[in-house]
Chains A and B, each alone.
Chain A
Amino acid sequence: MKLRIVLLSVVAALTALPAVAAETVKIGFVTTLTTPAGALGRDQIDAANIALDHIGHKMGGKDVEFIVEDDGFKPEIGKQKTDKLVKQDDVDFIAGFLWSHVLLASKKSALDGGKFLISANAGPSPLAGKACHKNFFSSSWQNDQNPMATGEVLNSKGVKKLYIMSPNYAAGKNMVSGVERTFKGEVVGKDMTKWGKDMQLDFSAELAKAKASGADAIFVFYPGPAGPAFIKQYEQAGLRGTIPLYTVFTVDALSLARLQKAGLGGVLGSWNTMFWAPDLDNATNKRFVADFKAKTGRYPTHYAAQAYDAIMLIKSGVDAVDGNTDDQDGIRAALSKADFPSVRGKYRYGPNHFPIQNFYLRTVKADANGDWFVSYVSTVLTDHQDTYYDQCHL
């Protein structure tokens, strides 16, 4: 018994030591690992681990400690987990955040706690505008940007009447305002459906309205589990031949795998826009996609790509100060340069720390093995900056 106590105290002393000397760089990662949206979080964690493998689990000469937390798809849980990372783990960086409502609920805890906050997905408009913060960075996009690219695509395809469907939460509203900002035709109908852990997945009433509206095209934003459900019902309703579908964050590697399994070929050839594609031609991306496929057997989603970039972005900051994570000014200066090999190629940051980057048109096709993936088609927006940056005064 005595021996056990002695051993325990030795272990405790040994584990306590590094914390005192700050020998490690601590990164907390908040994402969704349970609920039907858990597959998105798994993609992010897989990608972050590949990034950590690529850098030998070291930043600025120090070992990286990577702590993963599950937000359960709920803002209040996300905030609790962020509080835990700030107070209990005392991390240096908090990254992740799939969902805008979770990020908006958690940002205060992270930023007031003096931590760097890196969004690896959500890009709600407040954080790009009035509520921007010197220690907040995005490794993804501002919510409005991607649908703005879709709006341009709709114009160029000659769409005059558009029907819009989106979940009723912070990001959904941004997506709708984004497409409405650039789309020049008429919006003949709009449905904002229930979102969250108990999201609406049966769209019979909305699809019937869309059909009756006389629209030339439907624009939807249904990320995660809602995507395949929507596309399947769109096909079952017989709309494929009559009203073309344009999507953002709805058709990705995860939904395609399931749609292919179900043989829903209607998604092949459909259009969507994104800042990245798995076949985007640059060395970093090729290595990332190849390693991700080798490790998981899946194509990476954009969620994965952003998580990979988040880790690389953090490394660029920590490297610049040689691992001295107390030098927040030095880290911040390095982060704002975005000087790291990104899977999307080179990009730069606006004054609100959101990327100024290209957006591409993508389509769904089969690769050499017959697996469906989203493939680069053309560049829609070049060096595109969000529309909220001038409200941000840092």
Chain B
Amino acid sequence: MDWTLLTVQLLNGLQLGILLFLLASGLTLIFGIMDVVNLAHGSLYMAGAFLCATFTQWFDSFLLGLLAALPAVAIIGLLVELIVIRRLYQRDHLDHVLATFGLILAFDTLTQMIWGPDGQVIPLPAWLDGQVTLTADIVLPTYRLAIITTGLLVGVGLFVLVTQTRLGMRIRAGATNRTMISALGINIGMLFSIVFGIGAVLAGLAGMMIAPITEASIGMGNQIIIVAFVVIVIGGIGSIKGAFIAAILVGLIDTMGRSYLDVLFKLFMSAQNAETSAPAISAMLIYILMAVILAVRPTGLFGPRGR
């Protein structure tokens, strides 16, 4: 067993998990509190990446680009809520899926019209582009550690927001019983807009964090949104804590599958078969995990009980 490699892969898994958490936390809030299935959450992730790329190129600084793109994504999120999502609250889930799927197509085409079919590269400043030497053998890209740190800080911030503030109390109340809190005189429309805005910013931030690694590309959100849904189903819909634990779990399982499954398969099948089947099976692992958890706990790890 190569412990160095294992440590590096655990950190890689953690980084993927953190990124999924940023995306899934917004999704779980929107789904849990507003009861809206928002397939277009991945489009906000893409919007974040493209806006950050453009702002970074304008200001010639990744940090300034990031800071400028965050409010821009928030505005896009609020506009989407105002124009489309607000009309969906009274409708059923199938309408949500139809409308937000339409939003995905609109966002993808709009992006192609504005930026063209090419991806957008985000250059990193030198201090983020290097490597950090943890021990003699464990050397990690600085930027990946930066993602982990940022994600953990955002996680703590969300936790404080939801458990310690008045807004958080209303959000939790909204997740438990929507009718009751509007009866108590809380402006539920305003609350929903805020929640959707927070979700948009978190998704956009995730897109901005990943784009310097994979670059911003059209449709980049459409794949990861499926994984994000897996995360919130595993974690329990509406639970930030569940989203965090499930995201880390999914990130670790995915990375470990990609790292070690072929080695494992080579123990009992030919090298060639192992090389082709391992990637296919490792892509399935998180769905297998989801199926098992749904069978044992149908509401997810930290899902609401008896709703």
Residues of A within 8 A of B (CB): 33-36, 38-39, 41-42, 168, 173, 190-194, 197-198, 201-202, 204-206, 208-209, 212, 225, 228-229, 232-233, 235-238, 254, 257-259, 261-264
When the two chains form their complex, are residues B214 and A201 in contact, meaning their CB atoms are under 8 A apart? yes
The docked-state distance in angstroms from the alpha carbon of A316 to that of B219 is 40
When the two chains form their complex, are residues B218 and A34 in contact, meaning their CB atoms are under 8 A apart? yes
User: Is B74 part of the contact surface with A, judged by Cβ < 8 Å?
Assistant: no
When the two chains form their complex, are residues B210 and A38 in contact, meaning their CB atoms are under 8 A apart? no
Known A36-B219, A208-B259, A238-B141; contact A192-B276, beta-carbon cutoff 8 A:
yes
Counting contact residues on chain B (CB < 8 A from A), the size range is: 35 or more
The docked-state distance in angstroms from the alpha carbon of A229 to that of B9 is 19
Stretch at the interface among B116-124, B192-200, B290-298: B116-124
Closest-by-CB residue of A relative to B15 is A204
The docked-state distance in angstroms from the alpha carbon of A263 to that of B144 is 19
When the two chains form their complex, are residues A225 and B213 in contact, meaning their CB atoms are under 8 A apart? no
Chain A residues contacting B120 (CB-CB under 8 Å) are: 258
Closest-by-CB residue of B relative to A40 is B117
When the two chains form their complex, are residues B130 and A229 in contact, meaning their CB atoms are under 8 A apart? no
Chain A residues contacting B123 (CB-CB under 8 Å) are: 261-264
**B residues 118-134 with Cβ under 8 Å of A?**
118-124, 129-131
Chain A residues contacting B5 (CB-CB under 8 Å) are: 208-209, 212
When the two chains form their complex, are residues A198 and B222 in contact, meaning their CB atoms are under 8 A apart? yes
Known A198-B223, A228-B121, A258-B118; contact A208-B275, beta-carbon cutoff 8 A:
no
8 nearest A-B residue pairs (beta carbon): A38-B117, A198-B223, A36-B217, A262-B121, A201-B214, A204-B12, A238-B131, A236-B141
Chain B residues contacting A257 (CB-CB under 8 Å) are: 118
Partner of A190, one of B130, B255, B275: B275
Nearest-Cβ distance from residue B269 to partner chain A, whole angstroms:
15
Q: Is the interface of B mostly helix, strand, loop or mixed?
A: helix
Number of residue pairs spanning A and B whose beta carbons lie under 8 angstroms apart: 121
Partner of B215, one of A42, A191, A198, A228: A228
When the two chains form their complex, are residues B215 and A209 in contact, meaning their CB atoms are under 8 A apart? no
Nearest-Cβ distance from residue B225 to partner chain A, whole angstroms:
10
Chain B residues contacting A201 (CB-CB under 8 Å) are: 213-215, 217
17 residue pairs from A and B, CB less than 8 Å apart: A168-B279, A193-B258, A193-B279, A194-B279, A198-B222, A201-B217, A204-B255, A209-B259, A212-B8, A225-B119, A229-B215, A232-B215, A233-B213, A258-B120, A258-B215, A262-B122, A262-B123
The docked-state distance in angstroms from the alpha carbon of A257 to that of B117 is 13
Nearest-Cβ distance from residue B255 to partner chain A, whole angstroms:
5
Closest-by-CB residue of A relative to B139 is A238
When the two chains form their complex, are residues B121 and A42 in contact, meaning their CB atoms are under 8 A apart? no
